[in-house]
Amino acid sequence: MASKRSIGKNFRSVWLSVMVSSAGDGMFLTAFPLLAAILTRDPVLIAGVTIASRLPWLMFSLFTGALADRMDRRKLMIGADLIRLVIVGLLGVAILTDVVNIWMLYFSAFLLGSCETLHVNAAQGLIPAIVKPEDLLEANARFASGQIVAAQFIGPPLGVAMFNVSISLPFLADAATFAGSAALVSRVPDEHAVEPPTTKILQDIKEGIRYTIETVSLRRLTEILMVVNFFYFAANALLVLYNEDLLGGNKITFTALSVGAASGTVISRFFLDKITTKLGKTRTLQVSLWAWAIATIGLAVAWEPILAIVMHLVLGLGSGWWIALNTTLRQQITPTRMLGRMNAVSRTVTWGIVPFGALFGGVAARVFGLRGPFIISAVVMTGYALFAKRLLKPVEHAISELDIRA
């Protein structure tokens, strides 16, 4: 079972900050596709919301990652929260005054995604500075599970309930959560692990790219997640249509799909120590890939909501183990001064690919039908699971070196 020990008040403040803003995101991200589905039924246009929200990872993540290695990471997180407060608040007002349209959704999603690159890169660099090395895996597990509980357990039901009361309400509530998040981060003392810069930002960006490419284990983890995200979001970008048109579901079942994935991620945390002790970190990553393969196969053939919800539970199990291990390994392998840039390079590739995956899914749904992207995703995930041992060889070597160093 996961340890209940305290990791420290500074981590708790950051963790609570992420929980609060993630709960708002859950409200927002559930209401967003519901609003998009009211404005249009075109799968490509609906996928465009995902494209707009993830495109900033391709465009800006390298720059914001470099900033996170040069500036106070706490202040960057606070600034990103306050800007997102204004964006979501204005969108809520636009909905309230009945002037919102699909292009406004795209614009808002793009701006929010841009701020997210700064917030996430800063937060990932801050965690190793505020917890002890021996607590890093547990901290990342708590960070990931807490984020997902808030974004997929707490936020979505609230978002649907608020959406039914007033379409603008979940967006205005999300704005309030960003204010709370900023207030919590401001309580963290000056422990941001950043030295005054002595180089130009372009040099820093190039160094981060070169380091990630030349470190084979980091490169391989990034390559695997890039392909997984491409095909996962090819299907997931159309989840609102999948729920309504293929499963015959409604707003409640749409929420249940997110809650199912969140449940799996939460459950995964309580078995993380046990499974990594018994199987080792590399084989646990292999198990994660198999969980994703089984889940996507189930989603590809699902004809009723209950099966799809169970498959999302399995998907969440795999995601919980992968996120905690992947994040911890990257932090342990990378020098502290490079954490923001390494994370930015990884996110640029793994999240930057998402818009193309969403676009591919929209086009595939037009050509092959709505089930098409889900079938394609299942085929690719199964292939990666079958070759998981070979694909993760460089990661296994890096883990052995870390164990020797420890």
Q: How far is CA 262 from the centre of its chain?
A: 12
Looking at every residue in the chain, the average pLDDT score rounds to 86
Average pLDDT over residues 249-259: 84
* The model's pTM: 0.73
Contact between 141 and 11 under an 8 Å Cβ cutoff? The reply is: no
* DSSP 8-state secondary structure symbol assigned to residue 336: G
Q: Where are the beta strands (DSSP E) in 53-107?
A: none
Which superfamily, per CATH, for 9-186+201-405? MFS general substrate transporter like domains (1.20.1250.20)
- Would you state the pLDDT for residue 210? 93
* DSSP 8-state secondary structure symbol assigned to residue 98: T
Per-residue confidence at 307, pLDDT binned at 50, 70, 90? very high
What pLDDT, in 10s, does the model give residues 90-103? 999 999 898 999 89
DSSP string for residues in 167-233:
TTHHHHHHHHHHHHHHHHHTTS-S----PPP-S-HHHHHHHHHHHHHHSHHHHHHHHHHHHHHHHHH
Percent share of the chain, pLDDT over 70: 96
pLDDT at 3 over 50: no
Average pLDDT over residues 127-149: 79
Average pLDDT over residues 298-310: 94
Identify the sign of the CA torsion 68, 72, 78, 79. Answer: negative
